Structure 1
Amino acid sequence: MSSSSPRSTGDTPERPPGLTRFNTADDSTARAALHEVCASRAWGSKLLAQRPYATADALFAASDAATAELTADDLAEAMAGHPPIGRPKPGDPTSHREQSGMAGASDELKAEMLELNLAYQEKFGHVFLICASGRTGEQMRDAVRHRIDNTPEQEREIVRGELGKINRIRLTRIVEHAEGDAA
């Protein structure tokens, strides 16, 4: 391959600027970025170990594979990094952006979500996890109402799928933003 090949010159349509930056970051910086995506250390370690990624799709595939391999303890660690729906982390723009469907919710809906979140957490021992991006408050309420009747095993696999969606959205933000862009 010549040095003018798109793969050797850094940023290309297949390798956006954020992916190049992630691939070339020192381990500590890359690990911190991955921790912002998913609080599971096992997930982050698996993605870190496979750098560099030729394309964003390769990174997403590695994320999906790592998510599929998470143990129950790894999932619990990942979920601990997510605030309850309707109560985004103060000062965390990612949390606020992802939960924007609850921003305009009525006080009644917010109170109902709090009650449902507490009942869900009591039953399953962790926050209700859903890929909230693009969902309304009513859709999230309906989802928790439906899912609270699941068995712990069913819910663990649904949570794994929702976590995978969230991780992809967050990884997309990393790989698509050039240095200095607001992510």
Structure 2
Amino acid sequence: MSATTLTSVPTGTWNVDPSHSSVEFQVKHMAIATVKGQFNEFQGSLTIADDGTATASGAVEVASVDTRESQRDEHLKSPDFFDAANHPQITFVSTEITPVDEDSFKVTGDITIHGVTKSITLAASVEGADEDPWGNQRVALSVTGQINRGDFGMTFNQALGSGNMLVADKVKIAIDVSAVKA
């Protein structure tokens, strides 16, 4: 369930360092403004086997959603959107990682949001690798993608007099990872 990986990521298991990483999203509000948010609690790992195959997985805690507006955050946690009480995590497990070139690749996998699992393909790039001042090997990755929230049963919306919808269906995903070799 995986493909040959990039030569720029050394073999081993790499665990996401949440204090140096971010899981963010963007969605249009009223078709004119972009609302940005993030999840403050998450975990993940990337494993590069000796034979060059790779797997990736991760989970975010839905209750940690943060859009810098508490009323909106509470609405996002409600059954209208994530339904955090019944679906406390968003999870991802890779099914295939395909190199595009030395430093970029496509990551296909199963993402589960709001209790619904769908396949998604994300674009990823290796931003660099180095040893930190404490002797830990680190690798940095940037991952982007897009989902339609309606595909995951999150269909709450409101029509505006202009014909626009209050919340767009398209949600952009941006993940920046600093991972430490286990």
Query: Under a length normalisation based on structure 2, what TM-score does the superposition of the two structures give?
Result: 0.30
Query: Under a length normalisation based on structure 1, what TM-score does the superposition of the two structures give?
Result: 0.30
Greater percentage in helix: 1
